[in-house]
Chain A
């Protein structure tokens, strides 16, 4: 069964460093998302991406965050200068034709620890 894959599974970084989290969505999917989950809290929407551009972003997704689809398979989330409060689990997700018709598939997550 195809699945969304994410790397790294865990990254530890110093405050102020840049971090790139990588995702490979399911191959025939067209809609891509990043969600964040701070330990013990709910899953929060960060950004959605379709047709090579951001379609929507939350207030969490400020200028320190960016997303990119550098080739036909990867979808990356970059945090330019990490803060302590960026420590969380980051989930990539993808969907084939929009949530009106299909479900959202989540990756295993990348745990980011900012020291």
Chain B
């Protein structure tokens, strides 16, 4: 079945810097890759997603890139702000099963 690895597990940046979180997946049939932001005690919130027919997608300060050949995708946050501090999860879906498999999460801390 699908396996999703995520790095780093923790990331500390200064306000205004960029943050990059990377994920790899194992099932080459996967075709949908969402990113979720989870604040403490809250539900995961979708922040951006990408499907395998595109290589990059951008929404204001957030962008996701996908490399299907290498089976990895990344989240890029520019001009980070303290309110970006949260746990970020990548996920992958595709193939014969209708379920999302999540990565292990990255705790992002943006220092003011």
- Interface flags, A80-100, vs B, CB<8A=1, else 0: 000000000001000000111
> Cβ of A33 and Cβ of B99 under 8 Å apart?
yes
> Cβ of B43 and Cβ of A99 under 8 Å apart?
no
A107/B102 contact (C-beta < 8 A), A56-B97, A99-B32 known: no
A68 contacts across to B, CB distance below 8 A: none
- Interface flags, B44-55, vs A, CB<8A=1, else 0: 111001000000
**In residues 28-44 of chain A, which contact B (Cβ within 8 Å)?**
31, 33, 41-44
A107/B99 contact (C-beta < 8 A), A43-B89, A99-B93, A100-B31 known: no
> Cβ of B98 and Cβ of A48 under 8 Å apart?
yes
**In residues 15-52 of chain A, which contact B (Cβ within 8 Å)?**
31, 33, 41-45, 48, 50
**Nearest CB in chain B: distance from A8 CB, A:** 15
**Which of B43, B44, B91 is the most central at the interface, judged by chain A CB atoms within 10 Å of its CB?**
B43
A31/B49 contact (C-beta < 8 A), A42-B89, A43-B89, A104-B34 known: no
**Which of A43, A55, A107 is the most central at the interface, judged by chain B CB atoms within 10 Å of its CB?**
A43
Judge if A106 is at the interface, Cβ distance under 8 Å. Answer: yes
Judge if B65 is at the interface, Cβ distance under 8 Å. Answer: no
> Cβ of B98 and Cβ of A31 under 8 Å apart?
yes
> Cβ of A106 and Cβ of B44 under 8 Å apart?
yes
> Cβ of B89 and Cβ of A106 under 8 Å apart?
no
List 6 contacting pairs A-B, 8 Å CB cutoff, sorted by A.
A31-B98, A41-B104, A45-B99, A56-B99, A103-B49, A106-B44
Given A45-B100, A107-B43, 19 other A-B residues pairs in contact with their CB atoms under 8 A:
A31-B98, A42-B89, A42-B104, A42-B105, A43-B44, A45-B99, A48-B98, A55-B98, A98-B98, A99-B98, A100-B31, A103-B34, A103-B49, A104-B100, A106-B44, A106-B45, A108-B43, A109-B42, A109-B43
